Amino acid sequence: MLSSADFLFYFLGLVSLVFGLGVVLFRNPIYSALCLVITMISVAGIFGTLDAWFIAGVQLIVYAGAVTVLFVMVLMLFDLKHEMKTFSKGVIGNGVKLAASGVLLGMLGTYIWATYATEPTFKPLPAAATSSIKATKDLATSLFTTYIFSFEVIGILLLVIAVGAVTLSRITGGTHHAD
Amino acid sequence: MPINPEAWKVGLDHYLYLSSLLFIFGMLGVLMRRNVIVILMCIELMLNAVNISFIAFSRYAESTNGQVMVFFVMTIAAAEAAVGLALAVTVFKKFKEVNIRFFEHLKG
């Protein structure tokens, strides 16, 4: 008998797959961005079904909030109504791309089926660990002790990225012209 | 093959199937779309698919290390989106379009 958690997973998985396909297939980039928001939100729900509550919150804030707003803002900056050539051309090239993706999907699916299909379902966590405060505290402890060096390096990387993005947007000259 | 009701119970393998399907969708988008912004969106989709499998394995192993990795991946993804969009803005200022084929004129 399927539990309500299983139904929740199937619902969220279906939503994320359908709207993930929408990101690829919609011709208008604004529709792609809106599909991306719904995909991000359902992926946050999937993180919730895996008891990763803090990561689900970060997913909502960083992806569904900040990153998608950035995308939509840049799309509004451009006027892309005349964008016609949405997909790459060439029957052979597209066939090779589709075939390569299909082969990769088949390999991944077969590997998962052969390796993990016989695994039992997730063991229920001990009652102390299901409390979201305890789980978040564990995450913070390992982030600020074991992974403190990576954390600091990520901070420096963000600083470099901020400077780089500002520099890129200030570039006006160049060696080539549009015409 | 008879339908086994036990196979519908959600376990690690279901999360991995979902993750690989989303990854393939993102990969198809990166390969077949021409708009740079949509390509960046599809890269975000692929990173999200990888995050799902990280979290699923972290839950399976009952360890928080996978969640720390997802935290880092999210940071890198946000930074990558910022730089990619800055590049797209630069290309748009020059060519008035964000088709991927204009990126080959960026040398020099």
**CATH class held by domain A1-82:** mainly alpha
Residues of B in Cβ contact (< 8 Å) with A98: 28
* Residue B96 zone, left/alpha/beta (φ > 0; ψ -120 to 50; rest): left
ipTM score over 0.95, yes or no: no
In a domain, B2, yes or no: no
Tokens 């969640």 belong to: B67
Q: What is the pLDDT of residue A105?
A: 92
B60-101, pLDDT tens digit by residue?
888 888 899 999 999 999 999 989 888 888 878 777 777 777
Cα A19 from Cα A24, distance rounded (Å): 9
In a domain, B6, yes or no: no
Cα B69 from Cα B65, distance rounded (Å): 6
Task: Give me the total of CB pairs closer than 8 Å, taking one residue from chain A and one from chain B.
Answer: 231
Look at B42 and A23 and tell me if their CB atoms are within 8 Å: yes
Distance from CA of B97 to the nearest CA of A (A): 8
In a domain, B21, yes or no: yes
A150-173, pLDDT tens digit by residue?
999 999 999 999 998 888 877 765
Look at B90 and A171 and tell me if their CB atoms are within 8 Å: yes
Residue of chain A nearest B66, judged by CA positions = A139
CB atoms within 10 A of CB A97: 17
Q: What is the pLDDT of residue A129?
A: 59
Count of domains observed in chain B: 1
Q: Choose from B8, B13, B42, B43 for mutation: most chain A CBs within 10 A.
A: B13
Q: State how far Cα A113 lies from the chain centre.
A: 24
Give residue B55's domain range.
12-105
Task: State the pLDDT confidence band at B24, using cuts at 50, 70 and 90.
Answer: very high
Q: Where are the alpha helices (DSSP H) in chain B?
A: 12-32, 36-61, 65-95
In a domain, B7, yes or no: no
Residues of B in Cβ contact (< 8 Å) with A24: 25-26, 28-29, 32-33, 38, 42
Residues 6 or more apart in contact with residue A150 via CB below 8 angstroms: B72
In a domain, B4, yes or no: no
Which CATH number do you get for residue B78? 1.10.287.3510
Q: What is the pLDDT of residue A56?
A: 92
Look at A164 and B86 and tell me if their CB atoms are within 8 Å: yes
Beta-strand runs (E) in chain A? none
In a domain, B85, yes or no: yes
What are the beta bridge partners of residue B33?
A: A87
Tokens 């919150």 belong to: A57
Cα A81 from Cα A17, distance rounded (Å): 27
